Amino acid sequence: MAITLEMEQFLLKLKEKVDVGLVGGSDLAKIAEQMTSIDCGESFQSQDSDSQIAQLIKKYDYIFAENGLLAYHDGRLIGKQSILNELGEERVQRFINFALGYLSRLTIPKKRGNFIEFRNGLINVSPIGRSCSRDERNDFFAYDQKHGIREKMINAFQQEFNGTDIEMDFVIGGQISIDCFPRGWDKKFCLRFIPDDRYDKIYFFGDRCLPNGNDYALFSHERTIGYAVKCPDDTREQVEKLFFNQNQ
């Protein structure tokens, strides 16, 4: 889902008061797509991916794609890591083969395509497949809330790989998938690019803040003040109370 023009303008207004950073598990192109206002006339959406990315990294103070494995500050690349370099081809294939085997034995109401997405810093695994429609995505999310499909998948991955030479963490991401990455490469990874003495306070807003959620590591970190949000409107409301309340 793409950002609205109203929300984009709000973030740019916020940026006049404080430094603003974005951190996500998706790759840089996907984050750029999500942060492209759908309401603009000469839309950023009609541009190619490279143009979207070039504008995004200059628009906000920090951009952390794939949990910070690809990090930008003031439009400049400051860090890059690769899961392939970290684990090597043999271990990556072992993990992918196990994940595909698990998915092949899983029966759920609907399956589509693109079950495994290999990114620079993580492997994204989706039981329904990332090529599902918006309605199918919502249906799976409701089904998963009731039956714990992704929680069970995480448990199976942990049982298979914990204590082996494939030390990985697994967290629920978004509505339809889990993110799988080398141990410690969760969202708190981005903090290594922010010097301890740069800010008195670092506020983090996320919607997956429970254990096994992909925001939990950063939400609960000692360097951050975490706020759990439900949706963009809730995020805006909480940010307004913090930074635009004249009584504070």
Does the annotation place 61 within a ligand binding site?
no
Count CB-CB contacts under 10 A for residue 244: 13
Distance CA 23, CA 38 (A): 20
Secondary structure (DSSP) of 129-144: -TT--HHHHHHHHHHH
Does the annotation place 183 within a ligand binding site?
no
Does the annotation place 170 within a ligand binding site?
no
Taking residues 46-54, what's their average pLDDT? Answer: 81
Distance CA 73, CA 65 (A): 12
With pLDDT > 90 as the criterion, what percentage of the chain qualifies? 83
Verdict on whether the full-model pTM lies above 0.85: no
Does the annotation place 179 within a ligand binding site?
yes
Amino acid letter for position 139 = D
Does the annotation place 177 within a ligand binding site?
yes
Q: Higher pLDDT residue, 134 or 174? A: 134
- Domain covering 5-81+186-243, topology: Rossmann fold (3.40.50)
Distance CA 150, CA 177 (A): 7
Looking at the chain, the domain(s) classified CATH 3.30.1240.20 span 83-182
Q: What CATH superfamily is the domain 83-182?
A: Eukaryotic phosphomannomutase, cap domain (3.30.1240.20)
Does the annotation place 119 within a ligand binding site?
yes
Using the predicted structure, report yes or no on whether residue 43 has a pLDDT greater than 60.
no
Band of the pLDDT at 44, cuts 50, 70, 90? very low
Crossing angle, helix 149-161 and helix 134-147, to 10 degrees?
70
Task: Identify the three-state secondary structure at position 178.
Answer: strand
Judge whether 24 and 65 are in contact, CB under 8 Å.
yes
Does the annotation place 137 within a ligand binding site?
yes
With pLDDT > 70 as the criterion, what percentage of the chain qualifies? 95
Band of the pLDDT at 165, cuts 50, 70, 90? very high
Among 177, 175, 204, smallest CA distance to 68 is for 204
Taking residues 232-248, what's their average pLDDT? Answer: 87
Does the annotation place 200 within a ligand binding site?
no
Judge whether 11 and 37 are in contact, CB under 8 Å.
no
- The residue written with tokens 């995505």 in the block is 137
Judge whether 56 and 95 are in contact, CB under 8 Å.
no
Using the predicted structure, report yes or no on whether residue 247 has a pLDDT greater than 60.
no
Looking at the chain, the domain(s) classified CATH 3.40.50.1000 span 5-81+186-243
Judge whether 30 and 154 are in contact, CB under 8 Å.
no
Query: Chain-wide mean pLDDT for the chain?
Result: 92
> pLDDT tens digit string along 90-139?
999 999 999 999 999 999 999 999 999 998 889 999 999 999 999 999 99
Using the predicted structure, report yes or no on whether residue 150 has a pLDDT greater than 70.
yes
